[in-house]
Structure 1
């Protein structure tokens, strides 16, 4: 048996967030309204009946045959369901909070008739989901009855079933990710405003609105329409990206070696473009054609005027937009590209609109000059540093061994050192003007960059650098260390395990990288298992390892009390011909080690998010609710203690 099904009993002792009340009341001659009212604890939500396939389990009712009664219509639910985007399933989810009532109208002439059947529902909080639950009900339809739904079941059939299901990434987590993408887009839009192809156009554009419009009110209205047109154009670009890739591709991008390699190449092109090696431009005939349409009057003319701005400035904004879209796509968030473009365009359009409304503010703007090119080059250096993050994802997945942690840090130190000297005016490129005096903002940025470099340097010798650990290769790839955490230290005991030559657990934890082998060893030594679904390109996995696993109390438990099984879902090591198979879940042909572990996670836990932690007893039974990304050390310690207690209990039995 590859894996045991999660039982509801393992969760029922922990959470019972839904409380049911059943009621039957007459609504007319021989007609009754049977209601199922769920009171939901604060912080939890239950899913509607009306969900698309491929997502969580919807609430459903299965009624038994009614020899003396009949159903009128279908089950209704009130109030109307709320809606929210769930990143894990890549779809909009309909759900209920606080309280919801489901009603089924029944016709019966028999006063002793009973309505029997099974109610299935699933409930989630902002941190976890409980397995779908079944309640078998038996309700007299005639005469009023108010009963506790959790007790008004048929005793001979009272049971709760639970398909393999585990916590999925909550809508709160999805909202957090989307907010981060929006903020990144907004900051990118602010940076784009100070690029050479945007900034000088502000006075010209504002002058156009003020001179062409008959009144100040007309000028303001034109500026607002112009700003909204900018937003429409860029959001449309984000939606186009989403439509091209589709939800499944967006979710797979974060762990796809091909995507990460493509992103590395794209960011290199963008970085060198920003630094003046060449310009990325659109065909002139296309730009001219759009510009001609901008001469039309009314709203159409203003829209194409905004379109012309987007096209003409593409040589500057293209790399910035491309970087933002790469980041949004790699997050695997369906709405990410559109929301990132909304933040970008909002920040870009606000100055044009604001200066058109208050033209006197233009006097306070710094004059255009060589400093604009400095902004462009600085952004190019930042994009160059970001590019290596995607290269290391591919390097780790294919085990090329190109970028160790210290080499990666060395590259970053050189890039940010170059940025610091550039900001101080010690380095000049072809399009730069000589820096005769150093403005205060430029000095502050140079000082901040040097502080960051000083922070990076100890990492060359094995310092954990927890603040940016999610961006770095795993500490196990460190070639030189003074802390004893990398390969330069004594080899960990796991070197004899299957696949140990390809992987290294942090802090020299004795880890297994094959599920069957690790589980067999756990049974042999009678220790609980920490099943760690992780990935080379999983930023949050590295954060958990650097910030939570490194804690003395957590590390002590992982080294002494647990058998750690780390399964890398994006690893590209090929399987032998005898190991390859077709997935029963996705119908895909599984031919790599990462695909095998990803298929295991989807098949047994119905989720593909990482990091994902499962505590198992030595016999493979779940000992606690699985956990996802959470930097709460005390909560993680308690999570591990549950597995230790379960293992001790199994020994006493």
Structure 2
């Protein structure tokens, strides 16, 4: 038993450990040339996609992610027929990150380009470019090179290699390097930025030096921890409802009295608590098994589901307000309770815990429903189980603690009207969160009925009414007639009313960082008076580094993208903070590098990276290569602080809207530079 418990704890800890890898490679494509007839052929691109990632389809709207495109560098004896065509299970959904309807693939992506063979011999060389994102970041435009040639059908059917043919590079005459040359050698650097030794130092890889500062915890790990604690808080709130709180002393007393052996009573209470955990974790796993990983990811952006979630939360809120009681059929709990009495041992205790789950559903159901809705829309396969683990641990905790320390039962607050107050407060919160899901549906269908001002106006009213309720100015059916307001209730009312007042400037465009994750995007704001943005001094790395060297300032590199919505969130929620603004504009040289900048380079550049030859065609390709080769990362947003010789001053920073962390990130880099 102890070994199993230890292994379970070890697995949980391992799941929560931060990831240290910076380079992400979630998509692997292979290419194949298939001959259809003597004059027809097609190039097939087949991609395997990691869970949680999307590969976007062709011909997407402007302002969105990178569309898949077919690009030709050389061709002889062959003509293109039509355009690159997606095949397979293409998903079309409203994307809450890009705020538009998009088409994409999960798990597997297939693209086909048809060809017409016009000569006795033929050759075609080029690349397919695609974009990939998950819910947290996007990769820069990624190329899949191909090179095929042949003489007739026999030659065409055997050309199934995914590597470019060994041909001399024609775009740019660069220093010839052996096949094992990587992106870190001097020939590659010279091809990129010339033979100036001082400038070459700017491109020298600093991956090991950066790792010496320690890696930033990945966003996914943070989200899992957030989900666990959200579930834990939900479980604590469920404890203080009328359906659960009065049961605690009765259940603990039962376990202590059913056995003369106090140790056995404590052991039974622990088993009871563990059974509660198992029941709710199984519920979370059932959600995943029923919907599946891809369906859970689709829930977050599907308009119909978001409308359903909105209505569900409104029903839960009405239940907490006292309009009706959500109860399961009584025969269910009676049947389980009867079965518990007829059995003994562990099965009896497990059935008792199951009875608690059924009996307390009228109070725990809305909390569990809200929690499952919220975590399911994260798209994470394990999110429902993690959320239910936190919920169950909080719910089971008092049963085991009071069994271990029975004297604590005397100090338990008595049941009373305060528990109904908690229910009503939860009702107001669920009503507020219902608007979040309605907002997604509104954006998906383009109704325009819930823009940012309307959303904030409704939230202001909801939290103002909550404040008035806590002050006793509003009554619901189950409330006591006692008009006295306790100190704790008064402070809760003060917080709610203050929060309502805090949101008022948002009606005129104030960023409202505290609600930026819930409110509709700023572009839905009709009237915006707020202008306080940070702009980069340079969009060219080498020019910015030369300026930093002349002025004796450290550098902040901002690897971003035109289609990177999380980058815009950081700029709106973090960069506009006065402390951050002052540090970035006065103490650093800010260089912003767009990895999806499609401006062609004056000349194409061929480089060797990880044993493969790559062609850099655009300015975005160049900055993306810089990020990978120098810093060992390829996702945006990506912020890194360096001195004016290209050496890191602190660990890198990714998407995290915690302003204090960002200020510390900047100040630490500045202190290290001054040393």
Cα drift, residue 281 of structure 1: 1.7
* Distance verdict in 2 for CA 1:633–1:324, change over 3 Å: farther
Q: Are the counterparts in 1 of residues 560 and 593 from structure 2 also a CA contact under 8 Å?
A: yes
1:217 pairs with one of 263, 274, 285: 263
- Partner SS state of residue 410, structure 1: helix
Q: Which residue of 2 aligns with 1:421?
A: 468
Q: Which residue of 2 aligns with 1:628?
A: 636
Q: Which residue of 2 aligns with 1:182?
A: 228
Q: Which residue of 1 aligns with 2:386?
A: 339
2:237 pairs with one of 191, 203, 222: 191
Q: Are the counterparts in 1 of residues 239 and 245 from structure 2 also a CA contact under 8 Å?
A: yes
2:478 pairs with one of 431, 436, 440: 431
* Distance verdict in 2 for CA 1:428–1:321, change over 3 Å: same
Deviations 1:551-577 (A, max 9, x none): 7699999x99999999xxxxxxxxxxx
* Distance verdict in 2 for CA 1:637–1:367, change over 3 Å: closer
Deviations 1:438-457 (A, max 9, x none): 22221221111122122111
- Which has the higher mean CA deviation after the structures are superposed, 409-418 or 267-276? 267-276
* Distance verdict in 2 for CA 1:57–1:482, change over 3 Å: closer
What is the 5 A alignment of 1:121-132? none
* Distance verdict in 2 for CA 1:565–1:507, change over 3 Å: farther
Confirm or deny that 1:546 pairs with 2:545.
no
Q: Which runs of 5+ in 1 are unaligned?
A: 1-41, 48-53, 59-85, 91-125, 134-153, 162-168, 486-505, 510-527, 567-614, 640-653
Deviations 1:24-66 (A, max 9, x none): xxxxxxxxxxxxxxxxxx985599xxxxxx95669xxxxxxxx
CA distance in 2, matches of 1:386, 1:240: 24
TM-score, normalised with respect to structure 2: 0.54
CA distance in 1, matches of 2:224, 2:320: 27
* Distance verdict in 2 for CA 1:633–1:458, change over 3 Å: farther
CA distance in 2, matches of 1:636, 1:481: 36
Q: Are the counterparts in 1 of residues 137 and 564 from structure 2 also a CA contact under 8 Å?
A: no
* Distance verdict in 2 for CA 1:221–1:373, change over 3 Å: same
- Partner SS state of residue 456, structure 2: helix
Cα drift, residue 87 of structure 1: 6.9
Q: Are the counterparts in 1 of residues 216 and 653 from structure 2 also a CA contact under 8 Å?
A: no
Cα drift, residue 300 of structure 1: 0.6
Q: Which residue of 2 aligns with 1:25?
A: none
* Distance verdict in 2 for CA 1:623–1:218, change over 3 Å: closer
* Distance verdict in 2 for CA 1:386–1:315, change over 3 Å: same
What is the 5 A alignment of 1:517-528? none
CA distance in 2, matches of 1:447, 1:455: 12
- Partner SS state of residue 561, structure 2: strand
2:563 pairs with one of 533, 537, 548: 533
Confirm or deny that 1:238 pairs with 2:260.
no
Deviations 1:380-410 (A, max 9, x none): 1001101111111221222210112111111
Number of residue pairs aligned between Structure 1 and Structure 2: 415
1:327 pairs with one of 350, 353, 374: 374
What is the 5 A alignment of 1:49-88? 88=52
* Distance verdict in 2 for CA 1:183–1:427, change over 3 Å: same
Q: Are the counterparts in 1 of residues 20 and 216 from structure 2 also a CA contact under 8 Å?
A: no
* Distance verdict in 2 for CA 1:363–1:330, change over 3 Å: same
Q: Are the counterparts in 2 of residues 261 and 390 from structure 1 also a CA contact under 8 Å?
A: yes
Q: Are the counterparts in 1 of residues 561 and 595 from structure 2 also a CA contact under 8 Å?
A: yes
CA distance in 1, matches of 2:623, 2:640: 25
Q: Are the counterparts in 2 of residues 470 and 542 from structure 1 also a CA contact under 8 Å?
A: no
- Which has the higher mean CA deviation after the structures are superposed, 438-447 or 339-348? 438-447
CA distance in 2, matches of 1:276, 1:406: 30
Q: Which residue of 2 aligns with 1:271?
A: 317
Deviations 1:169-219 (A, max 9, x none): 998322111000000000000000001100111111112112212221111
Cα drift, residue 482 of structure 1: 3.4
CA distance in 2, matches of 1:180, 1:427: 33
Cα drift, residue 352 of structure 1: 1.1
Q: Which residue of 1 aligns with 2:131?
A: none
CA distance in 2, matches of 1:45, 1:481: 40
- Partner SS state of residue 237, structure 1: helix
CA distance in 2, matches of 1:262, 1:277: 20
Deviations 1:422-464 (A, max 9, x none): 1111111001102332222212211111221221111122211
* Distance verdict in 2 for CA 1:470–1:632, change over 3 Å: farther
Deviations 1:480-502 (A, max 9, x none): 343369xxxxxxxxxxxxxxxxx
Q: CA RMSD in A?
A: 4.5
CA distance in 1, matches of 2:377, 2:641: 28
What is the 5 A alignment of 1:491-510? none
* Distance verdict in 2 for CA 1:619–1:314, change over 3 Å: closer
Cα drift, residue 247 of structure 1: 1.5
- Partner SS state of residue 533, structure 1: coil
Q: Which residue of 1 aligns with 2:488?
A: 441
Q: Which residue of 2 aligns with 1:593?
A: none
What is the 5 A alignment of 1:417-496? 417-483=464-530
CA distance in 1, matches of 2:591, 2:447: 32
- Partner SS state of residue 562, structure 2: strand
- Partner SS state of residue 277, structure 1: coil
CA distance in 1, matches of 2:504, 2:471: 20
Q: Are the counterparts in 2 of residues 616 and 624 from structure 1 also a CA contact under 8 Å?
A: no
Q: Are the counterparts in 2 of residues 531 and 616 from structure 1 also a CA contact under 8 Å?
A: no
Whose relative contact order is higher, 1 or 2, with alpha carbons under 8 Å and at least 6 apart?
2
Cα drift, residue 367 of structure 1: 0.9
CA distance in 2, matches of 1:374, 1:630: 45
Q: Which residue of 1 aligns with 2:413?
A: 366
* Distance verdict in 2 for CA 1:430–1:46, change over 3 Å: closer
CA distance in 1, matches of 2:638, 2:475: 45
CA distance in 2, matches of 1:174, 1:87: 13
TM-score, normalised with respect to structure 1: 0.56
- Which has the higher mean CA deviation after the structures are superposed, 310-319 or 208-217? 208-217
Q: Are the counterparts in 2 of residues 185 and 340 from structure 1 also a CA contact under 8 Å?
A: yes
